Amino acid sequence: MKNGQVGTAIDEFFGRYKNTLSLLEEFLISKSNRQEFVLLTCARLDSLANLAFAEGTQKSRFSRFLARYSGLGKRTFAISVPDLYYYFQHYSWIVDSSVPEPGRIVLFRERDKEFAQFIFDSGIPVTKVHVRSLLTSMMGAFKHNFRVSPSQNTTMKTCATTDEIVEIIRESVRQKAGHSQPSGAQTNIGAIVSAYTVGTLLYRRYRSGAIHEWGVKLDEEDFFHTDSVYWKKTPVHSHQFLKIQFPAIFLLNLLKQSIDAYKRELRETEKLPYGVWSNGGLSEEFLDARSILPDTPAKIAVR
Given this model, what pLDDT does residue 290 score?
A: 78
Q: Give the structural domain span for 58.
A: 2-77+199-291
Tell me if 96 is assigned to some domain. yes
Q: Determine the pLDDT at residue 167.
A: 94
The whole-number pLDDT of residue 186 equals: 58
pLDDT of residue 1: 40
- Which has the closest alpha carbon to 234: 224, 221, 225? 221
Domain for residue 249, yes or no?
yes
User: Residue 120's pLDDT is what?
Assistant: 92
Of 142, 163, 196, which marks where a domain is finished? 196
pTM over 0.85, yes/no: yes
Domain count along the chain: 2
Assess whether 211 and 284 both reside in one domain.
yes
89 and 51, same domain (yes or no)? no
For 189-213, the pLDDT digits (tens) are 888 999 999 999 999 999 999 999 8
Whether residue 66 sits in one domain with residue 103 = no
Instruction: Among 196, 231, 261, give the residue marking a domain's end.
Output: 196
Q: Which residues of the chain carry a pLDDT beneath 50?
A: 1
Cα 205 from chain centroid (whole Å): 8
Q: What is the pLDDT of residue 2?
A: 55
Same domain, 183 and 94: yes
The b-or-e profile of 265-286 (16+ CB within 10 A means b, else e) is ebeeebbbbbebbeebebeeeb
Contacts 24+ apart (CB under 8 A), 156-159: 157/81, 158/80, 158/81, 158/82, 158/231, 158/242, 159/75, 159/78, 159/79, 159/80, 159/81, 159/198
What's the pLDDT at 215?
A: 87
pLDDT of the residue at 104: 94
Give the pLDDT confidence score for residue 63 in this predicted structure.
97
Residue 298 lies in a domain: no
Query: Distance (Å, rounded) from C-alpha 38 to C-alpha 20?
Result: 12
Tell whether 114 and 187 lie within a shared domain. yes
3-state secondary structure of 63: helix
**Contact by Cβ (8 Å): 115, 94:** no
Check whether residue 185 and residue 212 sit in a common domain: no
Residues 232 and 217 in one domain: yes
47-to-52, 77, 210, 289 alpha-carbon distances in Å: 9, 20, 14, 18
